Each structure stands twice: as structure tokens, then as C-alpha cells.
Chains A and B, each alone.
Chain A
Amino acid sequence: GAVVSQHPSRVICKSGTSVKIECRSLDFQATTMFWYRQFPKKSLMLMATSNEGSKATYEQGVEKDKFLINHASLTLSTLTVTSAHPEDSSFYICSAEGTGEMYEQYFGPGTRLTVT
């Protein structure tokens, strides 16, 4: 149980285009999902917290107009990187918060974005 999937797993896009990344909780409902960005050999950087049915909460320094987050259902959150630039190339990871008492997080496999 507690499986989180991401799609696509890998994407290459041209500079200036937009890319949508999906995060799904496959066998549980997640009212809260988190979006992270990972730099090589660095800690995961929390970008935003996504709550079902409401606006996402962005961390300081993260442009909400560039990284659009939508949490339309209890099993799906999407991250859209708009007008992508090469510096947006990174590994994007989502996690979904479980419904247990400990609010454990279940991580997705990540999406590798390369902007050319």
C-alpha cells in the first residue's frame, strides 16, 4: 500500500515551453501533497505544499506564477513548469501525506526535467 506515482518519469522540453508533471496517490487519498526539487547530492528543497481544493502554499523564493500547482482531487496533484528555462532542469519529486496518526509522507519516484 501507500504507493505514489509520477508521470512522466523523464521529460525533455525546449526553452520557453511548459511542462506538466502529475503526482498520484494510487491506493490512498491524500489531502496534502508536497512538491520538492532535488539538486545533485543536495537535500530535497520543498517548493510548495498542495492541499486538495485550495491554493498551494509556496515556500519563500519559489515563483508561484512559474510553478503552477493544482490539487484537483484527493489522489492527484499537478505541477506545471511554465516558460521553462535551462536552469529549471532538475529532478522534481512529490510526496503524499498519509492519513495515519503520524502524517507520514510517501515519496514518488521523481521526474527528471531537462530543458534545452
Chain B
Amino acid sequence: GQNIDQPTEMTATEGAIVQINCTYQTSGFNGLFWYQQHAGEAPTFLSYNVLDGLEEKGRFSSFLSRSKGYSYLLLKELQMKDSASYLCAVVDSNYQLIWGAGTKLIIKP
């Protein structure tokens, strides 16, 4: 079966760095998305990785290792507004999205 694993909940301190991991087992791979979703709002696109390596975009970076079936989202200089759910989604060989359950990130002052 196809599976995406990410932690259910994480807590971090304002100004710190947090890494949210995502491991996947899917039938084929055509890219991996990270989305941010605040309660009651639509998910917001953060990153798309299809090749191995690290992609940096401001305070957010995303890493992909296809051989390990692993990705992480790195958030630096955490702000209170970063409190949200972070969704990992993989595009499989049929170009279907396989969603992780999301990681709820709680930022404390």
C-alpha cells in the first residue's frame, strides 16, 4: 500500500528552528509537495521537490532524498504565525496525490 508518515504534532519556541520530517512509500514518485494550512483556511503551497537536494526559500527550506523516501521541511526563525498544520503530499506514478495526515506545529513564546 501507499503510505506517508509525518509526526502528528510538534512544539517549538519562537525564534528557533524546527524540522518536520516526512517519509513515504508510494508506487512511483513524481514529486513531493509541502503545504501550510492554518485552521479554517485552504492549504498554501510552500514547496515542490522532484530532484534530490535542498531547496531554500526564505525562512523555509525543503529537502528530498528519493532513495530514502524521505523529505523534511525546515523552518527557521520561527514566528508565532508559523503555528499551523504542515502537509506533505507525494505525487505517485499515476499522478495522484498521496497525502500525509499533517503535522500540527505549535509555536510557544
Contacts and interface: CB of A to CB of B under 8 A. Distances in A.
B45 A43 contact: yes
- Bin chain B's interface residue count: 20 to 34
Interface in B51-107: 85, 87, 89, 94-99, 101-102, 104
Which of the listed residues B42, B87, B102 has the most CB atoms from chain A within 10 Å of its own CB?
A: B42
Majority DSSP secondary structure for residues of B touching A: strand
Contacts of A105: 37
B48 interface: yes
B29 interface: no
A107 interface: yes
A36 B102 CA distance: 17
B19 interface: no
A63 interface: no
Interface in A72-116: 91, 93, 102-107, 109-110, 112
Interface string B26-51: 00000000010101101111001000
11 contacts: A2-B101, A36-B42, A43-B42, A43-B44, A45-B42, A91-B97, A103-B40, A104-B85, A109-B97, A109-B98, A109-B99
Interface of B: 35, 37, 39-40, 42-45, 48, 85, 87, 89, 94-99, 101-102, 104
- Shortest Cβ-Cβ A-B pairs, 9 listed: A43-B45, A109-B96, A46-B42, A107-B99, A43-B44, A110-B97, A44-B43, A44-B42, A41-B48
